[in-house]
Amino acid sequence: MLSCSPTSTHHPHSTSSQHSHPQTQTDRHPSNAPTMASEKSSSDLTLLDFWVSPFGQRVRIALAEKSLPYEYVEEDLLAGKSERLLQSNPVHKKIPVLLHGGKPVNESLIIVQYLDEAFPDTPSLLPSDPYARAQARFWADYVDKKVYDCGSRLWKLKGEPQAQARAEMLEILKTLETELGDKEFFGGEHGFGFVDAAFAPFTPWFMSYEKYGEFKVAEVAPKIAAWAERVGKRESVAKSLYSPDKVYDFIGVLKKMYGIE
């Protein structure tokens, strides 16, 4: 029986009837992706996602932390957007989209909070203290506003604009380093939490930022580098992320698509 048992940590790899080309999709999925067979998952959750999206990965991490079974549906964004995606998120037309009992929830950090609130008997990502929650929201918002956008400019641009993006990225990493301090996780006393889940998906992107920006995270922000290694070993994170090499190759694909050299 597919259960929500908090002790179950391994999800057998199985092909989902939802995938349009199961064979070619398999090498894109984490080898132990929690895809379910055609049997409806008991939590009635479906995730519309794109394999390498750090935003989708936040949700995968949260679902794994909570041991919630769900149906993973790969949206092949490079080929176009499915009708289901467009209907579920008509405003932004973006993944991730969580469908719970068919009702959509959009925006990755909003989905993570939703999972905390809709499944209160599972380990929560936000802490319970209001002040700690406000801090977590602030820092997750900081990651949201800064990391992906600045990182994209690093690999998209050249010359002076790229140098500016590089300077900003160093500033971002140093700011996050100060916030992390000597804590094991951003969540502090709470343990692995909301901000960790928000930022962890960007760790495989560090190698690409380093290559394009010509710096080393370990030199600029050694505590962040150590944190990245720690979270990378955490099961929920390990099974949700792809290798830095795969991310680097994906950026190469995007650059070709945009005609950037």
Partner 1 sequence: MAGQGDLKLLGMLESPFVIRVRMALHLKGVSYEYIEQDLSNKGELLLKNNPVHKKVPVLIHNGKPICESLAIVQYVDEVWAATSPSILPANPHERALARFWAAYVDDKFFPAWLGILKAETGEERDKKMSETLPVVEQLETALAQCSNGKAFFSGASVGYLDLAVGCNLLWLDAMRKMFGVVVIDAARTPVLAAWADRFRESDVGKEVLPDADIAVEYAKKIQVYRPASK
Residue with smaller CB distance to partner 1, 119 or 205 = 119
Smallest gap, in angstroms, from Cβ of residue 172 to partner 1?
A: 10
The structure tokens listed for 107 are 């925006």
Residue 258, CA distances (Å) to 55, 78, 210, 251, 255 in order: 21, 12, 21, 10, 5
Question: Given the rule CB under 8 A, which residues bind partner 1?
Answer: 91, 100, 103, 105-107, 110-111, 113-114, 117-118, 130-131, 133-135, 137-138, 141-142, 175
CA distance 56 to 142: 18
Smallest gap, in angstroms, from Cβ of residue 110 to partner 1?
A: 5
Smallest gap, in angstroms, from Cβ of residue 27 to partner 1?
A: 34
Biggest CA–CA distance in the chain, Å, is 58
Residue with smaller CB distance to partner 1, 39 or 129 = 129
Smallest gap, in angstroms, from Cβ of residue 103 to partner 1?
A: 6
Residue with smaller CB distance to partner 1, 188 or 244 = 188
Residue with smaller CB distance to partner 1, 41 or 175 = 175
The strand ranges marked E within 52-146 are 71-74, 97-100, 103-106
CA distance 103 to 141: 25
